[in-house]
Chains A and B, each alone.
Chain A
Amino acid sequence: MKNLAAIAVFGALATLPGTLFAQTEIVVWVAGEPGQTTIYDELAEAFNSDNPDAKITVVKNSSDLFNPALVPALSAGEGPDLFTFGTGPGQPAALIAGGLVADLTDSYFEHNWANTIPEGIVIQTSSDGKLWAFGNEVETTGMFYNKAIFAEHGIEVPTTWAEMETAVSKLQEAGYDTPIGLGAADKWPISHWQSMMFGRYAGPDGIEDVLFGDGEWTDAPFVAASAKLQDMGKKGWFGPTPVAIGYGELMDRFWAGEVPMTFTGPWVIGGGIEAAGDRIGDFSVFAVPPFEEGQKIHPTNSIGSGWYIRNGSEGADVAVRFLNSMFLETEGRVALLNAGTVPVGPLDDALAQAEMSPLAVDIWKTSDDHAANGTVPAFLDTITPGSLTTVSYDGLQALLLDVMTPEEFTSEMQNAWASSKEAGEIMLPGGITAR
């Protein structure tokens, strides 16, 4: 009897540490260069120390290789538990149809995500009444410029297209062969211009009409926007050889003060602070003036990507807790803001505590100033199917090289879009079924 009791006590003790200290480990994939520390490493570290029952490992894959690595990993059932991926009507449709991502609708209601995720973002991350992704950070784009160069040549920040033309002319006369850097060798930087200009010419409704309605890319506003972009290229605004220069080289030249302007987003600010050092105060951001008389400025506003949980992940609850810690708790939101990442939802509390760089404040202020006009997607290339992205990238280079007309370009886009629609590769308008 005595022996039996001893065995029972020993048995209970032996299982105790396992019960107390069992950790659920989850792997999180984010885009970034391996070895590079991102805010997500810091957030994961903070989460791990606050949650001894969980361990998060952040793995980075470079943007180029992220999707090609993710899809086979998920298909093999060995993908990450939590990962970022494109949103909107294009790219995630196949993941959802293939049953590779978890339905987050229960978490949405259980954790009151509705208080944080705006309805407009829920529409881009849901289908069939179910939420598939937690739309994470908000991205925007704006014209970054070198204040010192502008001041040296007596150039004011342009507010009309005529003033923009004058500014570019003055810079060209001053010897800047590339007044506006583009980095078009990498193709995707041109799509930032495309997204912004399509939005300006068609307005938010025009874009929505194509993405979720019967509108077509061959509609007049898109042709006009393409023609304007081509015209700017012909006038040498992007330099004599924009398609020969990659984005990395361009940004080096921009921070070095060799290129006065470039249209990009807040993700460059961290690198800019490192590259420009004390001269970072020389840089600021303005909204590209309306291209035509009577046109409104529609700030570009997109969710950079969404957080998805792998279907069948044993660490799904930890993944949800990690999302909550990043996006629902003020501490996480402040950390994201300090890193230049703007989380979705109301920012008041977090903004009061955050220490954002002045350049980040500038770009968000520029965006906020015109937000009442309605916003348009900043990255059409990430929310449309891959086949359309390929056609757009090649076509945008063709426009700049003047070997394709705007009509041909938009027509190729529409053909790719129609094929994707026919093949069911686009997501239908979202929304969550009320409970």
Chain B
Amino acid sequence: MFLDPDSKWAHRLNPVLFLLPALTIYIVFAIYPTLSVIEYSFTSWDGISPEREYVGLANYTRLFTDKIFWEAFRNTFVWSGVIIVINVGLGLVIAAMLARVWKARLLIQTCIVLPVVISPMAVATIWRWMYQPSGVINQMLETIGLGGLATPWLGSPDVVLYALALAHSWSTIGLSVIIFLAGLQAVDEDLYEAAKVDGATPVQAFRYVTLPALRPVTAVVFILTLTQSFKVFDLVWATTKGGPIRFSEILSTYMYKRGALENQYGYGSAIGVSLLVIVSAATVIYMQIQNREDR
């Protein structure tokens, strides 16, 4: 009646059974909606009508002539670029410094990681308040004699995207630091000793020992940061709604406007699919580069 636990079939079935609950959830809540969005992207649908008119590639060809899409596209790349530089670059530096600090390490680590658990809406509220023209940041700049740098952070077309990227990084860099720290702990101490014997300075040790040893971890942090930055919506929506004008419009906010606010679900889905393609392509390209360098 029951399968012999040592049988060939039991060995084949076991992993499937263990995977089944998670796989079911993943299919229902990730794969199915993704496939639905891809299907909607080939339709003209207001999100209400029971009928969806199939329009082939019309939504995708419309993307090419939609100047707002390209503005959002460019903004998304700038946005992600800034966040990657901060979260990967600065995250690695902070982790490397923390790895050498023993006193108060836990306290510092907690302070850096704490924002990760704050809800994005709370993060948006905090930074919206701090970025006010008479807010904390401008007040601090005035106090330390840098009043000339004070600016309406969220109202300035030239600054708003970077200001929001900084806020996003503040709330996510902790995760990068933790991953880098875990990676650093796996680096063989003998390598540092050998570098020291060879007369390497701390910077040289970082360049020739730490960085190569952390390549796989860096890839993970890079991909996580990239995907996280592309899917950000709440922070931008709750602070500027893509403004002023469209200077902080990113693909996710544009998709929401077209889809949910203007009832153009077909076109909104096409924007969503383009976002998926961009993130996937960027990830694959980065992995290819990593693999080539590893060889």
Q: A242 CA to B241 CA in the complex, in Å?
A: 15
Whether A244 contacts B155 by the Cβ 8 Å rule is: yes
Residue of A nearest to B257 (CB): A390
Whether B49 contacts A249 by the Cβ 8 Å rule is: no
A164 within 8 A of B: no
Interface size on B, residues (CB 8 A): 30
Interface size on A, residues (CB 8 A): 35
Given contacts A394-B243, A401-B245, contact A240 B133 (CB under 8 A): yes
Q: A393 CA to B253 CA in the complex, in Å?
A: 14
The interface-forming segment of A68-76, A123-131, A289-297 is A68-76
> Measured between C-beta atoms, what is the minimum distance from A434 to chain B in Å?
30
Which residues of chain A are near B264, meaning CB under 8 Å?
A: 387
Whether A401 contacts B244 by the Cβ 8 Å rule is: yes
Q: A97 CA to B50 CA in the complex, in Å?
A: 10
Whether A387 contacts B262 by the Cβ 8 Å rule is: yes
Q: A75 CA to B265 CA in the complex, in Å?
A: 13
8 Å CB contacts to B: which residues of A301-360?
none
Residue of B nearest to A387 (CB): B262
Which residues of chain A are near B257, meaning CB under 8 Å?
A: 390
Whether B132 contacts A249 by the Cβ 8 Å rule is: yes
Whether B262 contacts A98 by the Cβ 8 Å rule is: no
Whether A401 contacts B157 by the Cβ 8 Å rule is: yes
A429 within 8 A of B: no
> Measured between C-beta atoms, what is the minimum distance from A75 to chain B in Å?
6
Q: Choose from A74, A243, A387 the contact partner of B48 (Cβ within 8 Å).
A: A74
Q: A315 CA to B256 CA in the complex, in Å?
A: 32
A186 within 8 A of B: yes
How would you classify the secondary structure of chain A's contact residues: helix, strand, loop or mixed?
helix
**Most chain A C-beta atoms within 10 Å of own C-beta, residue among B129, B152, B244, B264:** B244
A95 within 8 A of B: yes
A374 within 8 A of B: no
A148 within 8 A of B: no
Given contacts A94-B48, A249-B132, contact A187 B241 (CB under 8 A): yes
Residue of B nearest to A249 (CB): B132
CB-CB contacts of B31-52 with A at 8 A, as 1s and 0s? 0000000000000001111100
B246 within 8 A of A: yes
Whether B241 contacts A244 by the Cβ 8 Å rule is: no
Q: Choose from B48, B152, B245 the contact partner of A241 (Cβ within 8 Å).
A: B152
Whether A100 contacts B260 by the Cβ 8 Å rule is: no
Residue of A nearest to B51 (CB): A98
Which residues of chain A are near B47, meaning CB under 8 Å?
A: 71-72, 75, 94
Q: A394 CA to B264 CA in the complex, in Å?
A: 18
Q: A409 CA to B54 CA in the complex, in Å?
A: 33
Which residues of chain A are near B76, meaning CB under 8 Å?
A: none
Which residues of chain B are near A243, meaning CB under 8 Å?
A: 152, 155, 243-244
Given contacts A67-B261, A186-B241, A390-B261, contact A244 B133 (CB under 8 A): yes
Given contacts A98-B48, A185-B154, A241-B133, contact A71 B263 (CB under 8 A): yes
Which residues of chain A are near B245, meaning CB under 8 Å?
A: 394, 397-398, 401, 403
B171 within 8 A of A: no
Q: A185 CA to B124 CA in the complex, in Å?
A: 14
Given contacts A98-B49, A241-B155, A244-B132, contact A386 B241 (CB under 8 A): no
Given contacts A186-B241, A244-B132, A386-B261, contact A71 B246 (CB under 8 A): no
Q: Choose from B129, B153, B237, B262 the contact partner of A244 (Cβ within 8 Å).
A: B153
Which residues of chain A are near B156, meaning CB under 8 Å?
A: 241, 244
Q: A386 CA to B264 CA in the complex, in Å?
A: 10
8 Å CB contacts to A: which residues of B79-120?
none
Q: A75 CA to B246 CA in the complex, in Å?
A: 30
A257 within 8 A of B: no
Residue of B nearest to A68 (CB): B260
Residue of B nearest to A258 (CB): B134
Q: A17 CA to B240 CA in the complex, in Å?
A: 55
B128 within 8 A of A: yes
A221 within 8 A of B: no
Q: Choose from B132, B154, B262 the contact partner of A390 (Cβ within 8 Å).
A: B262
> Measured between C-beta atoms, what is the minimum distance from A97 to chain B in Å?
7
Whether A68 contacts B261 by the Cβ 8 Å rule is: yes
Which residues of chain A are near B240, meaning CB under 8 Å?
A: 185
Q: A95 CA to B49 CA in the complex, in Å?
A: 8
Whether B49 contacts A97 by the Cβ 8 Å rule is: yes
Q: A187 CA to B152 CA in the complex, in Å?
A: 16
Q: A71 CA to B156 CA in the complex, in Å?
A: 34
Q: A335 CA to B256 CA in the complex, in Å?
A: 37
Which residues of chain A are near B152, meaning CB under 8 Å?
A: 240-241, 243-244
Chain A residues within CB distance 8 Å of chain B: 64, 67-68, 71-72, 74-75, 94-95, 97-100, 185-187, 240-246, 249, 385-387, 389-390, 393-394, 397-398, 401, 403
What are 8 A-B contacts defined by CB distance under 8 Å? Answer: A94-B46, A98-B49, A185-B244, A244-B153, A244-B155, A386-B261, A387-B262, A401-B245
6 nearest A-B pairs in the assembled complex, by CB-CB distance: A244-B155, A244-B152, A98-B48, A241-B152, A68-B260, A386-B262
User: 7 new A-B pairs (CB below 8 Å) besides A68-B260, A98-B50, A245-B133?
Assistant: A72-B47, A97-B49, A99-B50, A100-B48, A243-B155, A244-B132, A244-B154
